[in-house]
């Protein structure tokens, strides 16, 4: 068995550990150990990946392994990683780790919560290490289902509605995806569902014309592409903190990753021909999400719409079909994952104290809970693209990359997408000004509990990661950029 499968095995072991845990202490121990192990694992894999590349291994996927699962249908379990998967694994580990600490004192039913939480992480990790369409799809489904229960049971507000909406819409997306994947497999005539095998074949262009939109939309739903984004505000608003973090931080990235790895990589001709439709849709997402965020009053809605805008930028950049923009897209996935998780963590922690998420009911919190105040400002600055924080490098890579496309259509869309940097500033500063500055709105808010150690750990970890990506982007950027190359070669065919 390949060591990559440890990423799936560790959460599975965590689930077993949870089964036998008797009290909260033990549950916390199991979760903390598992989360730390996962962080160490992904750091180690990053190191191994970089050394292997430095040693001159130029294979598309490294550390590949393949086991036959069900021979009659050519179903294999195959794994492997490239620079993009490595970045996503790092992201997932950080989010899983911080999510555990953000829900350290989850109530009620901590055991069950963490069981579903671990199952969710199995799905996420599995998706990023798979190179087989079937394995990938299976893990995708594993990641979706626990979401329903996590929101429905531990959520807040209209949680049944939110859970139902989120799950059904994403299931709708995965139905499109299933058709797409099977279509790709049969049309390619390959003897396995391995992506690396399929990319060597030529899917007939007529088939690509309908398979590309199916897969792109299927993954696009998860990437909150307009007009399939409405699960995001309602779903996130009712989800518990850690679930929002994991969902917006990692799960939404499955969408972008899938679009990149499956839709574009396997169907390059259709990508060239049809990208304009999706460019328009994602271009709308970018601006539309940002404008919608301006008038929202619920913190989680603001962040959800902001995610629509930022994730729209990911898909937008992927569709530019050049190396720089695609590198930027992956960096944006990483950056958005980190900062949105930070936002949701902070919103959850603030909500736990003020018992409201409406910005009209808060004010002057900076004086009362300075730790959260400062962290929120940092998250906001990252979101509006302050240099030295992760958002800046990602957005700039995207903009410079998109600008390499010379025709007026791409130019105009790029400039339209650039305007989001201003609109983002408007809604971020509006929120910061309303809830943190000024006078205290509510008398009950004059004495709020200071941040606990586990909350601090979670928040500081995310901030450090955001700084690290933003201040030293060169190695991540070059790692991703190299891994984008195969797709570019494929597109040039």
485 lines the binding site for other proteins (CB under 8 A): no
Token digits of residue 222:
């998860």
C-alpha dihedral sign at 213, 214, 220, 225: positive
Least distance from C-beta 86 to other proteins, angstroms?
A: 18
Whether cis (ω within 30° of 0) applies to the bond prior to 408 is: no
Q: Report, in Å, the least distance between residue 421 CB and other proteins.
A: 6
Residue 371 lies near other proteins (rule: CB under 8 A): no
- Return the number of the residue (13 or 440) whose C-beta is nearest other proteins: 440
Beta-bridge partner residues of 238: none
Which residues, in sequence order, are CB contacts of 106 under 8 Å at separation 6+?
A: 113, 114, 154, 240, 242
- Residue 308 Cβ, how far from other proteins at the closest point, in Å? 9
Q: Does residue 456 bind other proteins (CB under 8 A)?
A: no
| 464 binding other proteins? (CB under 8 A) | no
Q: Stretches 65-73, 87-95, 442-450, 474-482: which one binds other proteins (CB under 8 A)?
A: 474-482
**Helix/strand/coil for 225:** coil
Tell me how far apart the alpha carbons of residues 133 and 136 are, in angstroms, rounded to a whole number.
Answer: 5
The length of the chain is 493
Residue 385, interface with other proteins (CB under 8 A)?
yes
Q: 255 and 219 in contact (C-beta within 8 Å)?
A: yes
The Cα–Cα gap between 151 and 236 comes to 9
Minimum distance of other proteins from residue 392's CB (angstroms): 7
Q: In this chain, which stretch among 18-26, 114-122, 176-184, 417-425 interacts with other proteins, using CB under 8 A? A: 417-425
Candidate ranges 43-51, 122-130, 264-272, 471-479; the one touching other proteins (CB under 8 A): 471-479
- Is 358 a residue that touches other proteins (CB under 8 A)? no
Q: State the nearest-atom distance from the C-beta of 363 to other proteins, in Å.
A: 10
CB of 420 to other proteins, least distance (A): 9
Tell me whether residue 48 is exposed, middle or buried, using C-beta atoms within 10 angstroms of its C-beta: 0 to 12, 13 to 18, 19 or more: middle
- In the complex with other proteins, which residue's Cβ is closer, 426 or 491? 426
Count of C-beta atoms within a 10 Å radius of residue 370:
13
Q: How many helices (H) and strands (E) does the chain have?
A: 22, 2
Site for other proteins in 218-257 (CB under 8 A): 226-228, 230-231, 234
Instruction: With contacts defined by CB under 8 A, name the span among 56-64, 193-201, 407-415, 483-491 that binds other proteins.
Output: 407-415
- Part in contact with other proteins (CB under 8 A); list of ranges 64-72, 273-281, 406-414, 457-465: 406-414
CA atoms of 90 and 44, how far apart (whole Å)? 10
> For other proteins, what does the binding mask look like between residues 164 and 203, x meaning CB under 8 A?
xx--xx----------------------------------
* Residue 397 binds to other proteins (criterion: CB under 8 A): yes
Nearer to other proteins, 138 or 469 (CB): 469
Question: CB neighbours (10 Å) of residue 179?
Answer: 15
Single out the residue of 12, 145, 396, 491 in contact with other proteins (rule: CB under 8 A).
396
Residues 6+ positions from 87 with CB-CB distance below 8 Å: 330, 331, 333, 334, 476, 479, 480
- CB of 11 or CB of 283, closer to other proteins: 283
Q: Which of 71, 474, 492, 493 binds other proteins (CB under 8 A)?
A: 474
Pick out residues in 272-311 that bind other proteins (CB under 8 A): 288, 291-292, 294-296
Cross-strand partners of 76: 68
Peptide bond into 12 cis (omega under 30): no
User: For residue 209, with 0-12 CB atoms within 10 Å meaning exposed, 13-18 middle and 19 or more buried, which class applies?
Assistant: middle
Between 423 and 442, how does the x/- string for binding to other proteins read (CB under 8 A)? Answer: --xx--xx--x--xxxx---
CA distance 215 to 223: 12
Taking residue 456's Cβ as centre, other Cβ atoms within 10 Å add up to 16
Minimum CB separation of residue 393 from other proteins in Å reads 6
Q: What is the dihedral of CA 93, 95, 96, 99, to 10 degrees?
A: 160
- Binder to other proteins among 130, 135, 282, 323 (CB under 8 A)? 323
Least Å distance, CB 46 to other proteins, is 18
Among 48, 145, 171, 421, binds other proteins (CB under 8 A): 421
Q: How far is it, in rounded angstroms, from Cα 185 to Cα 187?
A: 6
Bond before 227 cis per omega within 30 degrees: yes
- 328 neighbors 391 (Cβ within 8 angstroms): no
Of 93 and 441, which CB lies nearer to other proteins in the complex structure?
A: 441
C-alpha distance from residue 171 to each of 122, 158, 168, 175, 209 (Å): 18, 20, 5, 6, 23
411 touches other proteins (CB under 8 A): yes
Asked if 401 is part of the footprint of other proteins (rule: CB under 8 A), the reply reads yes
Task: Give 196 or 381: the residue with its C-beta nearer to other proteins.
Answer: 381
Contact residues for other proteins, defined by CB under 8 A: 164-165, 168-169, 226-228, 230-231, 234, 288, 291-292, 294-296, 323-324, 364, 366-367, 381, 384-388, 392-393, 396-397, 399-401, 403-404, 406, 408, 411, 414-415, 418-419, 421-422, 425-426, 429-430, 433, 436-439, 473-474, 477-478, 481
């Amino acid at each position: 068995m390949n060591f990559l499968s440890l990423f799936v095995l560790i959460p599975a072991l965590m689930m077993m550990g949870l089964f036998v845990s008797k009290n909260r202490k033990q549950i916390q121990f199991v979760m903390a150990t598992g989360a730390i192990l996962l962080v160490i694992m992904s750091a180690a894999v990053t190191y191994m990946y970089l050394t292997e590349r430095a040693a001159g291994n130029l294979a598309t996927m490294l550390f590949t392994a393949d086991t036959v699962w069900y021979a009659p249908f050519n179903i294999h379990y195959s794994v492997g990683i490239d620079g993009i998967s490595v970045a996503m694994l790092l992201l997932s580990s950080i989010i899983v780790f911080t999510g555990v600490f953000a829900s350290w004192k989850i109530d009620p039913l901590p055991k069950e919560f963490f069981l579903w939480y671990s199952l969710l992480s199995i799905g996420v990790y599995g998706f990023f290490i798979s190179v087989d369409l079937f394995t990938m799809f299976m893990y995708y489904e594993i990641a979706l289902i626990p979401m329903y229960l996590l929101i429905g049971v531990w959520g807040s507000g209209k949680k049944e509605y939110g859970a139902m909406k989120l799950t059904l819409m994403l299931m709708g997306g995965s139905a499109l995806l299933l058709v797409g994947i099977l279509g790709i497999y049969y049309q390619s005539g390959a003897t396995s569902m391995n992506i690396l095998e399929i990319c060597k074949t030529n899917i007939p262009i007529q088939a690509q014309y309908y398979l590309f939109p199916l897969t792109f939309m299927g993954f696009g739903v998860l990437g909150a592409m307009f007009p399939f984004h409405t699960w995001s505000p309602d779903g996130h608003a009712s989800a518990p903190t850690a679930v929002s973090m994991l969902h917006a931080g990692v799960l939404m990235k499955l969408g972008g990753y899938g679009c990149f790895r499956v839709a574009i990589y396997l169907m390059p001709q259709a990508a060239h021909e049809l990208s304009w439709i999706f460019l328009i849709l994602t271009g709308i997402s970018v601006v539309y999400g940002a404008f919608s965020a301006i008038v929202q009053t619920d913190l989680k809605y603001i962040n959800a719409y902001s995610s629509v805008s930022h994730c729209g930028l990911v898909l937008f950049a992927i569709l530019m079909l050049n190396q720089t923009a695609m590198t930027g897209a992956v960096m944006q996935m990483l950056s958005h994952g980190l900062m949105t998780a930070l936002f949701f963590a902070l919103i959850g922690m603030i909500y736990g104290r003020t018992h409201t998420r409406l910005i009209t009911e808060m004010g002057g919190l900076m004086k009362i809970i300075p730790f959260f105040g400062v962290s929120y400002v940092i998250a906001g600055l990252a979101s509006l693209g302050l240099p030295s924080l992760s958002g800046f490098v990602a957005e700039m890579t995207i903009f410079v990359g998109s600008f390499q496309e010379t025709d007026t259509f791409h130019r105009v869309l790029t400039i339209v997408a650039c305007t989001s940097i201003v609109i983002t500033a408007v809604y971020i500063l509006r929120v910061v000004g309303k809830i943190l500055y000024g006078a205290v709105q509510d008398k009950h808010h004059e004495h709020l509990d200071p941040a606990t150690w586990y909350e601090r750990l979670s928040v500081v970890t995310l901030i450090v990661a955001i700084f690290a990506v933003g201040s030293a982007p060169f190695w991540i950027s070059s790692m991703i950029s190299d891994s984008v190359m195969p797709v570019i070669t494929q597109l040039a065919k």
